Amino acid sequence: MPSSTSSSEHMIERVVPALPWSGILIAVILAVAAAVVAWELHCRSLGYAPGLDDTNDLWVEARRSVQPESTVIVGSSRGLFGLDLDVLEQGLGTRPVQLALVGSCPYPVLRDLADDQSFHGTVIIDAVPGLTVVPYMAPPYKNAEKAVQRRHEQTWSQRWSHLLSLPLERTFACLQQEDLKLSVLLHQLELPNRERIQIAPALPPKFSTIDRDRRTRMQAQVETDQVLRDRVKYGWAPLFTPPPKPSWIPDQAFGEFMGKLFNDRFVDMAKAVADLRQRGGRVIFVRMPSTGDLRQLEEQLTPRPVVWDRLLKDTASPGIWFEDHPELSGFACPEWSHLSAQDSVTFTQRLVPILKQTLITAPQ
């Protein structure tokens, strides 16, 4: 079938080949469907199942649900896994909004709430000492910063894409963005450190499920699969250990720079808490359980007096350290860093009375 386009100077004639286009379309559809089915079966054979991804868009959806007097959870994955929303709702009379983020510093989200002039509720901060004081250029800080940025810059196309993706994520196991998208798979390639380039340690595999309101629970497989559990356990040390000092920076200059960043974080946290308190908000810090070798490493890298005690002092805020309360200190984290699904319920049930009493005396 000839077709043509014309201009004032010349005419270009194109010829569309006479091919069975309808048959080709059907063949392409079948090939794509077969590829999707094969990939889906392969992913399920690896233990993946359909479920929501904890994307920044899901976080933004939760952030938009914050009301002026909401109770909000801020922090990292320990607060995400270990603070059960159903139990907190029963004990506090209101369902908290879950804004904790995996592997993240709490400050960017706390600052976002402090900048929200309509908010004057209660903020429960899951304060992992090592993540609380990471510098602004570190991945844990960037993780939270990107979520906050998404809230302010999310387009309507991104919003609708998120809504349309929810039923697909509940249907297909191969849509696990945290483990199976190309950028994540490429990061699994083992590359050596090079001059002026330090390769970040690999993140642990996804081992949790999450609901639409971001209620998160550890998969039972973690408690029964020793290989998976060990893979996660022994991945914490490189993640929690600060990277070595770059060889091209003098020791004194590097020490002064990092010391300033460390001190600035306490100043920033105190300012954010003071801004919230000025509007009648309340802030309480919670140190969630960690166990095993990881607990010892954390105490070595971020001793309690250096981070936790100073954090409470500088912010003039109350805190609950799990080891200070016998009813909170007897839990064994299966992979040293997070509570199991059942233990998260029990832990939260025991935490609620302490939390309520502490909030009564919390300054406003």
Non-local CB neighbours of 100 within 8 Å, separated by 6+ positions? 73, 74, 75, 76, 77, 78, 79, 80, 83, 106, 126
Quickly count helices (H) and strands (E) in the chain: 17, 9
Percentage, residues of the chain above pLDDT 70: 87
Residue boundaries of the structural domains of the chain: 20-48, 56-187+207-361
Bridge partners (DSSP) of residue 71 are 122
- Whether 198 shows a pLDDT value over 90: the answer reads no
User: Domain 56-187+207-361 classified CATH 1.10.287?
Assistant: no
- How does pLDDT run across 236-293, given as a tens digit for each residue? 877 787 777 777 788 888 888 888 999 999 999 999 999 999 999 999 999 999 999 9
- What does the angle CA 187 – CA 193 – CA 199 come to, to the nearest 5 degrees? 35
Residues 303, 297: Cα–Cα separation, whole Å: 10
Identify the pLDDT of residue 356. Answer: 92
Which of 160-169, 231-240, 267-276 has the largest mean confidence? 267-276
Identify the pLDDT of residue 167. Answer: 81
Identify the pLDDT of residue 329. Answer: 92
- Whether 6 shows a pLDDT value over 90: the answer reads no
The beta strand positions in 52-157, using DSSP E, are: 71-74, 97-98, 122-126
